[in-house]
């Protein structure tokens, strides 16, 4: 069914507004210079686990294609790495039947290896009523599995499940949940891995959706704020699609059209706020095309086995919300680095 053009006005009237960028930057630790950019870098071969044993001189950081000196370097990995995992079950963007399957797969993941998890893990359940976050964290997967059974997740309301207006509401609820999670994690030390089990929220894009300049500016502001919040909270996001092979290839990879960072309002599209896009841009993964959700969760956690924490000072910005694209090169053949893809700098 075609999306009516008039819907765009209704959508943007209700589009959530995150706190201003200045407010978001106040969440950064007081001892962290605003010009300091921290990167968590995973280095992988064409196939196989992340590569350990690299040195600082093996890395080159490019900021808008310009090399920047690395000001700090640490090789990390394994259970000793300062990592907290948040495992979020999305009951808003998935049917009740698929949710039941996803929970079974999550249970299998938690109970693997006799329930010994590599890092302290917190459960979160995202429903129509908001996000329930478990008090405390645990490395006991068996205990977390038992806790997961206690969460009652019912059917979505019909109003939020049907039609374009339901899609709009799920879009807003989802971004609000991610924003609130980023704000929560900003106050906590260390690196955070968010495993978001979901097919993603509606992209709300198409030839029949037209955005005014004012609407594009608002979306751009939201993109800048959310990107900054996640970066300052030291979050790497992973999108785990429990629908897997049940979805079409076109649907699975449509998000790739929006992966390039947005540098100005006239470039924006609501697809720039897709779960898979945000995950990829934080240096995480958007995993789909498999019904083995437990294996996808294990694949995500494999990234914590070996990684590198680098920092650099970004160059002065010429204007507000100046987008900088980041690349990390590895001076060894056959290896590729994955990390934060970009950030927004202020004068």
Residue 165: its pLDDT value, please?
60
Residue 121 located in a structural domain: yes
Confidence of residue 63 (pLDDT cuts 50, 70, 90): very high
Is 252 a member of any domain? yes
171 and 320 share one domain = no
Which whole number is the average pLDDT over 105-128? 96
Residue-range definition of the domain harbouring residue 143? 78-305
209 and 167 assigned to the same domain = yes
Residue 22 CA, chain-centre distance (Å), reads 21
pLDDT band at 210 (very low <50, low <70, confident <90, very high): confident
151 domain-assigned: yes
Residues 185, 328 within the same domain: no
Q: Between the CA of residue 229 and those of 155, 193, 201, what are the distances in Å?
A: 31, 14, 20
Average pLDDT, the chain: 87
Are residues 235 and 140 located together in one domain of the fold? yes
My answer on whether 274 and 298 are in the same domain is yes
Q: What share of the chain in percent tops pLDDT 90? A: 70
Range among 31-40, 96-105, 163-172, 325-334 with highest mean pLDDT value:
325-334
- For residue 254, what pLDDT band results from cuts at 50, 70 and 90? confident
Residue 115 lies in a domain: yes
What band does 157 get if pLDDT is binned at 50, 70 and 90? low
Using DSSP, state whether 70 is helix, strand or coil.
Answer: strand
Question: Looking at residue 151, what is its pLDDT?
Answer: 80
The answer to which of 123-132, 203-212, 321-330, 332-341 has the lowest mean pLDDT is 203-212
pLDDT of 80 > 90? The answer is no
Sheet containing 36-44: order of strands: 70-76, 307-313, 36-44, 336-338
Q: Which residue has the higher pLDDT, 129 or 204?
A: 129
* pLDDT for residue 16: 42
Same domain? For 295 and 151 the reply is: yes
CA distance 298 to 112: 10
Residue 283 lies in a domain: yes
How many distinct structural domains can be found in the chain?
Answer: 2
Residues 6+ apart with CB under 8 A from 276: 200, 239, 255, 286, 288
256 and 331 both lie in a single domain: no
Shared domain for 115 and 209, answered yes or no, is: yes
CA atoms of 230 and 296, how far apart (whole Å): 22
Which helix (H) or strand (E) is 163 found in, with range? Answer: helix 163-186
264 to 118, 163, 211, 213, 323: CA distances (angstroms): 40, 31, 14, 11, 8
Buried b / exposed e over 316-340, threshold 16 CB at 10 Å, is eeeeebbbbebebebeeeebebbbb
C-alpha 132/C-alpha 181 separation (Å) is 11
- In this prediction, residue 244 carries a pLDDT of 77
What is the domain-level CATH number for residue 163?
Answer: 3.40.50.410
Of 54-58, 146-150, 228-232, give the lowest mean pLDDT range. 146-150
Say if 15 falls within a structural domain. Answer: no
On whether both 160 and 216 belong to a single domain, the answer is yes
Whether residue 146 sits in one domain with residue 128: yes
In a domain, 250, yes or no: yes
DSSP 283: T
Query: pTM (2 decimals)?
Result: 0.90
Residue 163 has pLDDT above 70, yes or no: no
Domain-located, residue 23:
no
Please, which residues bridge with residue 312 across strands? 37, 70
Shared domain for 238 and 317, answered yes or no, is no
Residue 39 has pLDDT above 90, yes or no: yes
Q: Quick one: pLDDT at residue 154?
A: 56
**Do 180 and 54 fall into the same domain?**
no
pLDDT at 33 over 60: no
């Amino acid at each position: 069914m075609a999306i009516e053009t008039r819907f765009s006005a209704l959508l943007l009237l209700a589009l959530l507004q995150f706190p201003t960028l200045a407010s978001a930057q106040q969440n950064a630790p007081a001892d962290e210079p605003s010009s300091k950019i921290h990167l968590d870098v995973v280095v992988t071969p064409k196939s196989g686990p992340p590569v350990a044993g690299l040195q600082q001189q093996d890395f080159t950081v490019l900021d808008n294609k310009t090399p920047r000196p690395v000001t700090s370097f640490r090789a990390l990995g394994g259970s000793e790495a300062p990592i907290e995992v948040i495992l979020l079950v999305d009951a808003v963007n998935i049917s009740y039947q698929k949710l039941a399957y996803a929970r079974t797969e999550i249970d299998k993941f938690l109970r693997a290896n006799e329930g010994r998890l590599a890092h302290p893990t917190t459960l979160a359940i995202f429903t129509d009523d908001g996000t329930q976050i478990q008090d405390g964290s645990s490395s006991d997967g068996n205990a977390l599995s038992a806790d997961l059974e206690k969460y009652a997740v019912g059917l979505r309301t019909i109003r939020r499940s049907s039609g374009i207006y339901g899609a709009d509401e799920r879009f807003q609820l989802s971004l609000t949940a991610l924003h609130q999670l980023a704000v929560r994690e900003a106050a906590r030390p260390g690196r955070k891995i968010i495993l978001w089990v979901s097919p993603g929220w509606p992209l709300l894009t198409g030839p029949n959706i037209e955005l005014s300049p004012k609407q594009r500016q608002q979306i751009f502001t939201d993109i800048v704020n959310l990107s900054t919040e996640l970066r300052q909270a030291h979050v790497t996001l992973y999108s785990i699609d429990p629908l897997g092979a049940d979805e079409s290839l076109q649907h699975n990879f449509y998000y790739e059209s929006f992966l390039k960072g947005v540098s100005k309002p006239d470039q924006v599209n609501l697809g720039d706020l897709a779960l898979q896009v945000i995950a990829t841009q934080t240096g995480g993964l958007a995993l789909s095309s498999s019904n083995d959700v437990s294996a996808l969760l294990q694949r995500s956690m494999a990234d914590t086995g070996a990684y590198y924490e680098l920092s650099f000072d970004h160059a002065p910005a010429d204007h507000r919300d100046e987008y900088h694209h980041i690349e990390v090169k590895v001076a060894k053949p056959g290896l590729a680095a994955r990390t934060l893809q970009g950030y927004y700098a202020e004068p």
